[in-house]
Amino acid sequence: MTFWNQGKALGRWALRAFSSATRSSRSATPKTVFISQSDDIFANLALEDWLYRHHDFSQHRILLLWRNGPAVVVGRHQNPWKETHVGALHDKQVVLARRNSGGGAVYHDQGNLNLSFLTSREGYNRRTNLTVVANALRREFGLEATVNDRDDLVLNGNYKISGTAAKLGRPNAYHHCTLLADVDLDNMKGILNSDDCGIETKATDSVRSPVCNLSSMHPGLNVASLMGAVGREFLRSDDRGVDLGKSAISRQLGFTLVNPTDDWFPGLEKSRAELASWGWRFGRTPDFTVRREFAVPREMCVTEGAKLQVQMRVVKGRVASMSVTVPPGFVSNAPEGEVAVLSGLEGQKFSEEAVGLVEAAFAKKDKSDKKKRFVAECVRRVVQ
Amino acid sequence: MVVCSVVVRRLLAAAPAAPRHVFTGLRWVTSTPVKFTDRKYTDKHEWVQVEGKIGTIGITHYAQDALGDVVYAQLPDPGQEFSQMDECGALESVKAASELYCPVSGKIVSKNTEVEDTPGLINKSCYEKGQLLLTAHS
């Protein structure tokens, strides 16, 4: 058998082995730690989803450990434009992903470890999982972490080192969380936005907290050492998070490297493509209205302090309606304060693509190049 | 049939008002066509009340209590079709997204937009104002 085939066979064995493993006398369901070999956020989310949909967790639990290249991951019912400057992500080489679980927006890079605790619906318990993580940090790094009432892990009572979210279905469920090992925090703060962008929506909000890296408290701590620590603690704990001792580890099903591809997990590629699609990442945004005002340069209007207002209604990530309210004298052949409804934009994606159409539409109303560019710039700032 | 009776006992213990008719997701208990029936319950804690071909769907008191405060309701759009026990939406509470399963096969006739505006209605009144969907079942 080639090395590659050995790996695949091991993965499949790990998924089947639970059926022959027996429960220990102290209620510890057979457990495996999976480590993903991919750093593609969409492949890893697809892997988590595959296990949730296809695996029988009635007699088995899996801790999936994974990390990604730079990404902003928003919750299932969030508005990405409220959480980050979507237009700026491409230049920063950060991708935007939407996960299937609830909760707020997080930033991932290679210094962040993701943990997914996959169980049956009956086995779902967030606090137990977080207690296991806290125990691992104490045992191997001497760090004291506590679980607060929002189910966040905090260090020294102050700094959040982990965010939690969950998906509950039947028969399965999962709780996943992040761990800030050695993340570029400056990059993260610049990317996770809390500016007032004029968006009115019922989408779920993020709750901001001060954060810190675990490596700042324990130099030398990195994602690899964290994976080992948390994985071992998971394997030596029972279903209530109680430590069964080091010898319990060898009675479990150990660590397995997995590759999120169709070869290993049939049908995963289709799921990955769906998670990476515009329709999922942006089209699933709850409907919203955005309203922003911009100060008009003095030379373009007749009065001081004039404002131009852009308002858009966005449904499923596309412009459903848009209006631009201009100050008196802004549009040469229009009466005061005309509300210019720019048609032809309906159905356009809420993005830079809409800006070009706005420019063209406005040019029909006023010959001034400067004004046309000003209006387009206002719209550009709205869609970012 | 032993499995059936276990499921029935669990549901009866969980539901506040003992249902007279229970189905396990496999078949209706009453097989004759009826104009109006009491609520029927699934083992995923949804309920459906049928009047003619239209079914009203919601989640049970047990389910809303287990969820905690609902902060977002993602309901399917009218016109979408589902088979029995397909995932058709989600309710979010305290960072957890809980799947909604469609208890009957059919097409969505309408969704309760009041619940989308005020998700807390599901907690306060899960059988009345906090109802979720109307379906035309096939």
Instruction: Tell me the ipTM for this assembly.
Output: 0.83
Q: Say what angle helices A41-54 and A268-276 make with each other, to 10 degrees.
A: 130
pLDDT of residue A125: 93
**B95 close contact with A: CB closer than 8 A:** yes
Chain A and chain B share a number of CB contacts under 8 A equal to 60
Note whether B93 contacts A203, CB cutoff 8 Å.
Answer: no
**Which residue of chain A has the CA closest to B117?**
A202
Please tell me the distance in Å from B44's CA to the nearest CA on chain A.
7
Q: Does B77 touch chain A (CB under 8 A)?
A: no
> Out of B44, B92, B95, whose CB is closest to A151?
B95
Asked if A166's CB is within 8 angstroms of B96's CB, the reply is: yes
Which of B97, B101, B116 shows the shortest C-beta gap to A76?
A: B97
pLDDT tens digits for range A176-233: 999 999 999 999 988 987 676 888 888 888 888 888 999 999 988 999 999 999 999 9
Q: Are A79 and A72 in contact (CB under 8 A)?
A: no
Is the previous residue joined to A286 through a cis bond, with omega within 30 degrees of 0?
A: no
Residue A10 banded pLDDT, cuts 50, 70, 90: low
Q: How confident is the model at residue A244 (pLDDT cuts 50, 70, 90)?
A: very high
- Tell if the CB–CB gap between B72 and A203 is shorter than 8 Å: yes
Q: How far is CA A151 from CA A145, A177, B66, in A?
A: 12, 10, 16
How many Å apart are CA A63 and CA A34, to the nearest integer?
6
- Domains of chain B in start order, with CATH, are 39-136 (2.40.50.100)
In angstroms, the CA B84 to CA B80 distance is 13
SS3 string of B60-92? CHHHHHHHCCCCEEECCCCCCEECCCCEEEEEE
Asked whether the predicted pLDDT for residue A306 surpasses 70, the reply is yes
Rounded to a whole number, what is the largest CA-CA distance in chain B?
43
Interface test with B, best of A49, A167, A207, A289 (most B CBs within 10 A): A167
Inter-chain CB proximity B95 and A76 less than 8 Å? no
8 Å CB contact of B96 and A203? no
pLDDT score, position B8: 38
The residue whose two tokens read 């001060």 is A210
Tokens encoding B40: 């029927």
Q: What are the CA-CA distances from residue A62 to residues A59, A175, A249, B6 (Å)?
A: 10, 11, 14, 28
* Pair A282, A80: CB distance under 8 Å: yes
d(CA A149, CA A252): 31
The tens digit of pLDDT for each residue in B96-133 reads 899 999 988 999 999 999 999 999 999 999 999 999 99
Average pLDDT of A51-75? Answer: 96
What is the pTM assigned to this prediction? Answer: 0.84
